[in-house]
Amino acid sequence: MNGVQVVGGSNPLAPTIFMSMKTITIGLIGFGTIGKGVVKTLQANKELVETRIGAPIQLKWVADLDITSDRGVKVDPSVLTTDAMQVVNDPDVDVVIELIGGCGVAKHIILSALRNGKSVITANKALLAEHGNEIFSAVQAVNGMIAYEASVCGGIPVIKALREGLVANNIQSMYGIINGTANYILTKMTQDGISYEEALKQAQSLGYAEADPTLDVEGIDAAHKLLILGSLATGAIFEMRDIYIEGIRNITDKDIQYAAEFGYGVKLLGIYKQQAGSVELRVHPTLLPESHLLSSVMDAYNAVFITGDIVGHTMYYGRGAGELPTASAVVADLVDIGRSIANGKGRHNNEFTRDRSSVVVRDMNAIESRYYLRFSVIDIPGVLGQITGVLGKYRISISDVYQKERRKGEFVPLVMITHHAKEQGVRAALNEIDQLDVVKDKTLLIRMED
Ligand code: HSE
């Protein structure tokens, strides 16, 4: 048999017959947490991966500025280099795995690798979200391939779900817990009754949150991921300015306690909705009924609840970050690409077939929602009347009112839940209410989903 190579080993599927003698040569750039996970995975499951590709693999390069620190994983010193361009320019390399992150050097590496005819695998959500058009234009120009399963929700194969499993559907909506750090903080505030600041400190000490947690707690990381999911669902590449973003910094443990009294939990959600010829893309804290499946997603776990017009409801759950879950996604992409190289067909991106200008993104003012409103008001007669008067003027109907604390003549929290209302009206009403003498602080608004 021509071109057939037999190997044995610990793989339960062995012995393997490779249908291709072509070795898939890999250059890994970025030997940080995920890079280390990829090396470990390729070592632990090498035969399994090769069997599934149908060809042998070789990790020819591991590039990083630091090639001396001990990462607890054995690598042949001859593969280590500090020169990323040596990897990108090596004619032997078939697949470049970019795990540096950020939008600087990483972009240059990816664009150069594509121009050099390499397939690219990346976990870089920020780059895809901030420069998606440029990256995918470059891919198209060379009829190349970029795979990015690890960029959204780490080990959860949600990109494959949208690209492949759900491809027969119009995606009607997606609700995602797509930032593990924020979910950890909100979980701790809920379960332990601790403040945002305390929960953030815990998240930092466990390594979930960075010293500067802005990207996670302000919703920016979630927006990067929502942009990628929304682009896949629609077929058009969105831009960050298409997404409304609000983080979790203003949520207090009291809000979580009040929400619970109404039967709701608070989650930071990435929301995509397609209806009436337009799409909504938004990231914000959201009150979800405690009975919703997403409400049971705790700690740093991620989950995405996707509804298609044919399939109905589906949900994807798992670890959204971390060394091995993210490496699992990177190596899945490697197997996909490796299979295409091995069978000589090549694999090309074909998921973005619509022009962005053909898609209407609904302005945030035009969305409709139910709202949780927490006012800070003086506890004296007539205050409730003043507030409901303004809400009524803007046709905002109240479904529940709640004032737990009673301190005559002092400022106390007053919580209301509204029926469905237009965001524009709610914002206008709150602007007016916040000017009233009986109101102290800016009113807190949290949108609700049922
Ligand atoms: N910092 C992210 C999170 C993981 O907390 O989910 C990487 O996107």
State the pLDDT confidence band at 131, using cuts at 50, 70 and 90: very high
Average pLDDT, the chain: 94
Q: What's the topology of domain 5-155+324-356?
A: Rossmann fold (3.40.50)
pLDDT of residue 232: 98
Task: Locate 247 and state its tokens.
Answer: 């983080």
**Encoded amino acid at 185, one letter:** I
Give the nearest ligand 1 atom to 321 CA: 4
Q: Does residue 321 have its Cβ closer than 6 Å to ligand 1?
A: yes
pLDDT of residue 14: 53
Task: State the DSSP H helix or E strand holding residue 389, giving kind and residue range, or none if neither.
Answer: helix 383-393
| CB 431 within 8 Å of CB 419 | no
Q: Catalytic residues, which ones?
A: 225
Q: Show the beta-strand stretches assigned E in 321-378.
A: 360-361, 368-378
∠ CA 414-420-422, rounded to 5°: 95
Give the nearest ligand 1 atom to 181 CA: 5
Helix (H, G, I), strand (E, B) or coil at 430: helix
Q: Does residue 255 have its Cβ closer than 6 Å to ligand 1?
A: no
pLDDT tens by residue, 188-238:
999 999 999 999 999 999 999 999 999 999 999 999 999 999 999 999 999
Burial class (CB in 10 A: 0-12, 13-18, 19+), 40: middle
Q: Does residue 322 have its Cβ closer than 6 Å to ligand 1?
A: no
With 50 as the cut, is the pLDDT of residue 9 above it? no
**153 CA to centre of ligand 1 in angstroms:** 8
CATH of 158-317, one of 3.30.390.10, 3.30.70.890, 3.30.465.10, 3.30.360.10: 3.30.360.10
Q: Does residue 320 have its Cβ closer than 6 Å to ligand 1?
A: yes
Q: How far is residue 332's CA from residue 336's CA, in Å, rounded to a whole number?
A: 6
Cβ contacts of 286 within 8 Å, gap of 6 or more: 266, 267, 268, 269, 271, 446, 447, 448, 449
**39 CA to centre of ligand 1 in angstroms:** 21
**135 CA to centre of ligand 1 in angstroms:** 22
Q: Whose CA is nearest to atom 2 of ligand 1?
A: 179
Q: How far is residue 396's CA from residue 387's CA, in Å, rounded to a whole number?
A: 11
Tell me the best of 159, 178, 186, 216 to mutate to test the pocket of ligand 1, counting ligand atoms within 8 Å of each CB and taking the most.
216
CB atoms within 10 A of CB 65: 11
Q: Does residue 23 have its Cβ closer than 6 Å to ligand 1?
A: no
Handedness of CA 145, 150, 153, 158 (dihedral sign): positive
Residues of the chain with CATH 3.30.360.10: 158-317
**184 CA to centre of ligand 1 in angstroms:** 11
Q: Is pLDDT larger for residue 36 or for residue 450?
A: 36
Burial class (CB in 10 A: 0-12, 13-18, 19+), 395: exposed
Cβ contacts of 156 within 8 Å, gap of 6 or more: 302, 303, 304, 316, 317, 318, 319, 320, 325, 329
Q: How far is residue 110's CA from residue 376's CA, in Å, rounded to a whole number?
A: 51
With 90 as the cut, is the pLDDT of residue 21 above it? no
**393 CA to centre of ligand 1 in angstroms:** 42
**267 CA to centre of ligand 1 in angstroms:** 15
Longest Cα–Cα distance of the chain, Å, equals: 92
pLDDT of residue 2: 36
Give the nearest ligand 1 atom to 225 CA: 8
Backbone torsions φ then ψ of 306, nearest 5 degrees: -120, 135
Q: Does residue 219 have its Cβ closer than 6 Å to ligand 1?
A: no
Q: Which residue has the tokens 């995606």?
A: 171
Q: Does residue 179 have its Cβ closer than 6 Å to ligand 1?
A: yes
Query: CA distances (Å), 340 to each of 22, 334, 344, 346, 348, in order?
Result: 11, 10, 6, 5, 9
pLDDT tens by residue, 234-276:
999 999 999 999 999 999 999 999 999 999 999 999 999 998 8
Helix (H, G, I), strand (E, B) or coil at 24: strand
pLDDT tens by residue, 151-170:
999 999 999 999 999 999 99
Q: How far is residue 284's CA from residue 264's CA, in Å, rounded to a whole number?
A: 15
pLDDT of residue 123: 98
User: Helix axis angle, 253-261 relative to 180-192, nearest 10°?
Assistant: 70
CATH of 366-448, one of 3.40.50.300, 3.40.430.10, 3.40.462.10, 3.30.70.260: 3.30.70.260
